Amino acid sequence: DIVMTQSPLSLSVTPGQPASISCKSSQSLLHSDGKTYLYWYLQKPGQSPQLLIYEVSNRFSGVSDRFSGSGSGTDFTLKISRVEAEDVGVYYCMQSIELPHSFGQGTKLEIK
């Protein structure tokens, strides 16, 4: 199984400041079709996860442009340009290149 490792596991950010979360996979997520199957989700308190980014860097419909994804192969990053109070929650990366699909442990973002 592909292991997804996130860091840090928690971070506390002042509103208006940037934040960055790393996700590393135990195998390359680059498929022979040229796509890289890495996703980012945010689970707000008491809610189900919501898709932020798909295939490394594509923002899902309605997602703020403050969120951006980057990376390749086995190393990926989610960046929030200016953190807002509504960004609080747990961020997960997920791979779908290989079954079973697997998630990172989650990174909890709180506001200072």
Partner 1 sequence: QVQLQESGPGLVKPSETLSLNCTVSGGSISTYYWSWIRQPAGKGLEWIGRIYNSGGSTNYNPSLKSRVTMSVDTSKNQFSLKLSSVTAADTAVYYCRRNFDFWGQGILVTVSS
| Interface contacts to partner 1, rule CB under 8 A | 39, 47-51, 54, 60, 92, 94, 96, 99-106
Alpha-carbon span 38 to 93, nearest angstrom: 7
**Of 14 and 94, which CB lies nearer to partner 1 in the complex structure?**
94
**Of 14 and 26, which CB lies nearer to partner 1 in the complex structure?**
26
Residue listed under structure tokens 């079709």? 33
For residue 103, the minimal CB distance to partner 1 (Å) is 4
For residue 6, the minimal CB distance to partner 1 (Å) is 10
**Of 80 and 94, which CB lies nearer to partner 1 in the complex structure?**
94
For residue 48, the minimal CB distance to partner 1 (Å) is 4
DSSP 42-88: EE-TTS--EEEEETTTEEPTT--TTEEEEEETTEEEEEESS--GGG-
Residue 75 sits at the vertex; the CA angle it makes with 69 and 81, to the nearest 5 degrees, is 30
DSSP 101: P
**Of 54 and 76, which CB lies nearer to partner 1 in the complex structure?**
54
